[in-house]
Amino acid sequence: MTKGVLLYCFDTPQVSYSTITDRCISLIERNLDLPVTVITDADTKGRIKSKCDTLVVDVEKGNTKLSKPWYNLERHLAFDHSPYDRTVVIDVDYFCYSDKILRLLQSESDFLVHKSAHDVLRNEEMRYHREAMLDLVWATVLIFNKTPRTKAIFDTVKLVKENYAHYCHLYRITYKYFRNDYAFAIALNQVNGHREYDVIPDSIATVPANAEILELKHDGAVIRLKDKILSLHDQDLHFLNKDIANV
């Protein structure tokens, strides 16, 4: 069975995601030793310096976050894009400072996703329970095999994306821009017949957007929020502050 990592990387006018992707790939090489395929557009491909396979697509635009372009509308195609039998999809700003992903790949589950994330500075869970009738999942990390069930999940996500306003009304989702976290939550809820499903048992260690990134090292990061400085080592981190492209 082939195993590998799938990344989605599209530079925006504000953020050099290609720079972030290069750092992400270097950590994958160091701690996971897995092949990497990057889904990207023609312009961004020329800026990626790492050795990796690439698949060039026409990026779908139009989504925004905090009034800035947010190119996140391709992940529902990961089942079709992936050349691997067992695939890890991660955000390029999710840095693998440990071998956690390798351990998760040993699971017998054909689809895994986080259902919990926490703020590393405040040490509290990040909750959005008032934004919808169902709990979201964190599509920051997806692990899946190419099975009929996972194809049904991705096909349902496609359907949700095409009819997002309808599903927002159905599930009373207050966040009206398309968000993969809700789309996969809806798909998993429907494909599993509104029953529980397998999830990654821990919580995503998340560096909040308002944290200052003081240093990025090969085994972790040093961050600051106001007068609090935190040094984090040997754990995977999801950075919401895209200034990591400039550190």
pLDDT in tens, 76-103: 999 999 999 999 999 999 999 999 999 9
State yes or no: pLDDT of 171 exceeds 80. Answer: yes
Question: Band of the pLDDT at 134, cuts 50, 70, 90?
Answer: confident
| Strand runs labelled E in 91-226 | 94-95, 111-114, 117-119, 124-125, 138-145, 204-207, 212-217, 220-225
CATH number at residue 27: 3.90.550.10
160, part of any domain: yes
239, part of any domain: no
113, part of any domain: yes
pLDDT at 244: 93
102, part of any domain: yes
Separation between Cα atoms, residue 144 and residue 78, nearest integer Å = 10
On the CB side of 135, CA atoms within 13 Å amount to 14
User: What share of the chain in percent tops pLDDT 90?
Assistant: 79
Nearest to 198 by CA among 148, 157, 153, 168: 153
pLDDT at 77: 97
150, part of any domain: yes
241, part of any domain: no
According to DSSP, the residues that pair with 225 across neighbouring strands are 228
- Gyration radius from the chain CA atoms: 17
Separation between Cα atoms, residue 177 and residue 73, nearest integer Å = 11
Please name the helix (run of DSSP H) or strand (run of DSSP E) that holds residue 105, with its range, or none: helix 100-105
Separation between Cα atoms, residue 36 and residue 51, nearest integer Å = 9
Separation between Cα atoms, residue 149 and residue 197, nearest integer Å = 12
pLDDT at 174: 87
pTM for the complete prediction? Answer: 0.94
Which two three-digit tokens encode residue 229? 């400085």
Share the mean pLDDT of the chain. 93
At residue 47, φ and ψ (nearest 5 deg) are: -100, -10
Q: Helix, strand, or coil here: 91?
A: coil
151, part of any domain: yes
Q: How many CB atoms within 10 Å of residue 139? A: 23
- Identify the residue whose tokens are 């040094």: 231
**What is the rounded average pLDDT of the residues 137-160?**
97
What's the pLDDT tens digit per position in 50-72? 999 999 999 887 666 656 676 77
Q: Report the domain count for the chain.
A: 1
224, part of any domain: no
Q: Helix, strand, or coil here: 156?
A: helix
Separation between Cα atoms, residue 171 and residue 224, nearest integer Å = 37
Range of the domain at 193: 3-208
pLDDT at 124: 84
At residue 233, φ and ψ (nearest 5 deg) are: -135, 145
